[in-house]
Chain A
């Protein structure tokens, strides 16, 4: 600090640039347009033409509501039970434990129901492994009430006639007769095959075993649509049988994830988030350190302490090098001082500025070496607390090599665990390719497909579309009448997990029963029921089958009391499935010994393509779920579609940009064209494409061309081959036609005018630091923020209304929330849970493009860095419930008012839709109902889109998903987060029932808090100093957004902390570590002005502070004074403000 001027200048130059998107970074005029507009698009635009029809279809499928119109009183009928079930209380919420599989995950859940309707899925926190739920689990209630699941009008099997090929409604009885005849006539079953997805259900496996007793040669194909069987191969290599992988990060010190998105897309990622999140608390001992090497930009990459973007083809070499160094037990990380490292980074930037890509290449190569050295040293130091996670995209050999390294470290079996899958006990396991070749040879006469939409997901070169036609008896049991169902002779409705008896074994080995909450709404049966009936098992009803399995597991008969306990708790401590696998057979590692190359050059003929599961649709199975289709995907913020995601450098090399197209072509000539999405920080020459989109037969939401419903997204299956289901190298070619992507990234941008201003302020919106900085300067969070004028109770003459309430009614709780940015992984579980809890509608792709999405929580993600190397910070933002809420001051009808408990409440019935409040909200968290999103198909209001009585009745089914505790908002009404006021009131009423006791900490769990697998959200009474939320708010890292506007937000954040080793810190991180100064509290704390800094900057700041009343005026001047003044202003902002 001897040379104040130099450090000041460098600080200005290295001012962290946060940007939300490439268009913002490059100053795209459209972005400026967004920022300058008060509202994204004019209010009166109603969808037109074909799109209007599409919009109505979507509305119909999303939510519907029955309303009653009348004059004085609509005459309402009360229809009580004839015989009310004992203990049943009409209208009250109750919970039931259940365990089910969804998209490859086992969920231990509590199902919240009202009047027999399952409405929400919550984590079963009393389960021994904790239970964590992700977005799929929360959204599944919408699928339950999806009328498009039905076959025919009411849900019956459909059979295609042998002659003429017409599909006619049939009955379950007819199918049962056919199926048992088929099994009887199939001899030993050598021409019989069953095709299904990976299942962890012992009952299904037992019924399949029974089928194989009848048909000893019948084959079973277990097909994983995501990895195409890579994990299966890993299991065969290691243990000679299929396995699943699970992690327990408790006590972990170092994690190295190599193309492994264990916090995002891995099976069990919610559980991983929970145990990993516990190691991310800087206050509770040392934080774990996460190294990530990846080609794409994943949720895990965003959570990383150190992230290295590298082509996937080079990552195995990194693993090989790590293994060598760990085995040698010798790796020296750099021990340079932060000051020296900062000098180095500054020199780097100058070099790159002069030398261009050649210089950048040198820097990248050096950083790659530093990265490997540091990761190896940390792994050696961590020993059994260190783990390497290798993604299956790198191939089975790499995964096995990763296991070998963990074995050497000692973490295998402790952090990384394997257990045999339930289906490992089946005979004649066949691969997908094997099945295809047998069908093409004409060896298969009967094929049973169990909810695996293989026509859409299977490798394209197997041409299953045509092969299924060659099978004489094809039977499809699936949730929807989808692409595969249309190909098969029989299409049978599958029961939803919330309406089925089933079971599953979780990652902890606990046996769990899936118990139905409602009878099958659309006539479905479970897989086990169908197979058991085919096999002619004596017991073939769902409950009986499951109970028999439980008895078998218990080694005899499970007493009735224990069975009830199993159902009630969702687990039974004595009913676990042992996971004895024996030692892994590691063999010889044959990973290439070459040194990884991080070249910046891009070869258009060898583009590395990663096929990723869709965060929203998984393999496409959730395509008809509007909540998931409209969920902004965590890093791209894309809704309603997929894209070729690549770094700006890659896009530039093709001469394309965001919104144009890229054609990907395999050697055999198959081509897929995808819209380009530029994502900073991805490895050069890497393109990711999400699978699951472009489905041609789903329903009114996901696409059904035969009913004129547009297909959503683009199908990438044609370029996915059996040997490269996750990763392939192919040609890329630009296409210059345009494509409109529905992203939410620039919507609801906090509207400082102009990019500079936004960038300038964004570092105070999201504050982050490193563990080193936290040690050096515990209150760095405050130092990063702007000057906050002190008013109200803090000493000025002004008294805020809420302070008066707090004084007058000290007995009232004051609600507040704290969100830990260090733990948040941006997984979207809260977004969907909020949607389910609060009746938030979907609006459709066109309305998302018009920025009219309705989510109450948006997860802002900000990049920091440059196009090639960008870090991501994510910040979930919903209404922050300002104590001096700007929205309340402008509402002409007092529709948004403060409660005495500090909630910024909306009285929907008062709202006349002026939208002044949304204009005046600095956080942009208010959402306006431009249309009757919930009612347009309903009775009484709006447009009757479904005049046919059956269609109307069907669509009414969807309204069953609405939470009766929350008002359904109509057109012209503003809405936003209410802190789940219905849950607060419920807790208060429950406390009243218990003798009027005060509310305890933890009585109220908001929907987002319950959904967060990482426990990043705390909610409670901030007037109680002992509550968890009060303690979180006392943390040095706690800060409020835009507090300089004196909004006094009730939701505050804990600054993001990265545990980055100094040698790998970015320029900004080092700059803060070296130069950031403690915040002064001079002006109001009684010290004289002499206490302030003595250098030039100190005076500058000082002056600013003295005139803080004229703040606006100041800035105004700055603009007028041009560049010099602006420079001075930036300097002032960057440095700690007194």
Chain B
């Protein structure tokens, strides 16, 4: 039997093979190193919410404290999304007779329709989750805010966002950076929810962090069981 040989005209295609290998390498590097990087995948995630709630107006212009709505942040793992009743405190709809309460803000706004519908039917508003950690991560808000880590460290300047998006990576490597050296993220506990807090001119962050960590016994750890159980 005659041995099969590739015809000569195939030779130029060897270069194509080489290109393909090179391209594959670039593709793999791009996928692994850039496209699936938390920076690419996670930062900037900004889904459309059922109600175009503006944090910039509420927290920024009106200077409402985070805890007016997210009131469990100092008590619980979750900084709970507020119940419809919290919105209704200001945005109460018209009653059966069509009268609106005197203090009601934008009682007839169409944008508030899902809120009013929820209030009348008793069904929850279906907010879309933005900051979403994997299920095997047990993050606890209360532990962090009690230690003096501000909301802004993880969520960015929410008070300037019309529509909330994810500002930070929230990846494990990102968490560990701070757990290794939390000093620059610490501030006095009373300013934790003050997103635009700026220390004074003579503020010495390093000295403050040292004293603060000593006083409150803050020694963040980086071993697995801290977050994974």
Contacts and interface: CB of A to CB of B under 8 A. Distances in A.
B171 interface: no
B188 interface: no
Interface stretch (B9-17, B18-26, B150-158, B213-221): B213-221
Interface stretch (B58-66, B102-110, B115-123, B199-207): B115-123
Nearest to B84: A82
A988 B146 CA distance: 12
Contact of A91 (B47, B78, B126, B127): B78
Interface in A877-919: 897-901, 903, 905-909
Given A80-B127, A899-B225, A993 B74 contact: yes
B228 interface: yes
A985 B83 CA distance: 28
A76 B128 CA distance: 6
Contacts of A798: none
A81 B129 contact: no
A965 B228 CA distance: 10
A78 B146 contact: no
B228 A73 contact: no
Interface stretch (A255-263, A571-579, A776-784, A995-1003): A995-1003
Contact of A909 (B127, B136, B140, B217): B136
A90 B128 contact: no
B83 A82 contact: yes
Interface in A903-950: 903, 905-909
B45 interface: yes
Given A82-B124, A967-B228, A75 B47 contact: yes
Nearest to A983: B229
A1113 interface: no
A1121 interface: no
A966 B219 contact: no
A982 interface: yes
Main secondary structure of the interface of B (DSSP, over half): loop
Given A80-B84, A992-B147, A993-B146, A89 B124 contact: no
Contacts of A809: 219
A899 B142 CA distance: 22
A996 B211 CA distance: 13
Contacts of B147: 992, 996
B219 A812 contact: yes
Interface string B133-145: 0111010101100
Nearest to B115: A82
A463 interface: no
Contacts of B47: 75
A906 B147 CA distance: 27
A81 B72 contact: no
B81 interface: yes
Given A907-B224, A985-B138, A995-B216, A73 B82 contact: no
Contact of B146 (A900, A965, A992): A992
A1107 interface: no
A1116 interface: no
A162 interface: no
A989 B140 contact: yes
A811 interface: yes
A737 interface: no
Interface string A994-1027: 0111100000000000000000000000000000
A1095 interface: no
Contacts of B229: 965-967, 978, 981-982, 985
A80 B49 CA distance: 14
A73 B43 CA distance: 12
B85 interface: yes
A81 to B, nearest CB: 4
B223 interface: yes
A963 to B, nearest CB: 10
B125 to A, nearest CB: 7
B133 to A, nearest CB: 11
B165 to A, nearest CB: 13
B31 interface: no
Which of A82, A90, A905, A989 counts the most B-chain CB atoms under 10 A from its CB?
A82
A1089 interface: no
B75 interface: yes
Contacts of B129: 75-78
Interface in B136-186: 136, 138, 140, 142-143, 146-147
A965 B225 CA distance: 12
B180 to A, nearest CB: 13
A90 B219 contact: no
A83 B88 CA distance: 10
Nearest to B129: A76
A998 B85 CA distance: 38
Contacts of A995: 216
A901 B125 CA distance: 43
Contact of B124 (A81, A811, A812, A966): A81
Nearest to A75: B128
A797 B58 CA distance: 64
B76 interface: yes
Given A77-B128, A80-B84, A82-B124, A900 B221 contact: yes
A283 interface: no
A82 B127 contact: no
A76 B78 contact: no
A1087 interface: no
Contact of A82 (B122, B135, B143, B146): B122
Nearest to A994: B146
Interface string B74-106: 111110111111000000000000000000000
A77 B127 CA distance: 6
Contacts of A985: 138, 140, 225-226, 229
A738 B53 CA distance: 71
Contacts of B135: 967
B223 A900 contact: yes
Contact of A905 (B42, B127, B219, B225): B225
A897 B126 CA distance: 40
A1053 B124 CA distance: 52
A79 B229 CA distance: 25
Interface in A55-107: 72-73, 75-84, 89-92
A81 B83 CA distance: 5
A635 B124 CA distance: 52
Given A78-B128, A82-B124, A90-B78, A997 B217 contact: yes
B29 interface: no
A978 to B, nearest CB: 7
A998 B214 CA distance: 12
B6 to A, nearest CB: 41
Contact of B72 (A72, A89, A812): A89
B83 A897 contact: no
Which of B127, B138, B142 counts the most A-chain CB atoms under 10 A from its CB?
B138
Contacts of A82: 83-85, 118-119, 122-124
B113 interface: no
Contacts of A905: 223-225, 228
Which of B142, B143, B225 counts the most A-chain CB atoms under 10 A from its CB?
B225
A91 B77 contact: yes
Contacts of B219: 809, 811-812
Nearest to B36: A72
Given A76-B132, A80-B125, A992-B143, A899 B217 contact: no
Nearest to B223: A899
* 4 tightest Cβ-Cβ pairs between the two chains A and B: A996-B216, A79-B124, A905-B225, A899-B223
Given A76-B128, A897-B223, 10 more contacts: A80-B82, A80-B83, A82-B119, A92-B77, A899-B226, A967-B135, A967-B136, A985-B140, A992-B216, A993-B74
29 contacts: A72-B41, A75-B47, A75-B128, A76-B128, A77-B126, A78-B127, A80-B127, A83-B84, A83-B85, A84-B83, A89-B72, A89-B75, A90-B80, A91-B78, A92-B72, A92-B77, A812-B219, A899-B223, A900-B223, A967-B228, A967-B229, A978-B229, A992-B146, A993-B143, A996-B147, A996-B216, A996-B218, A997-B217, A998-B217
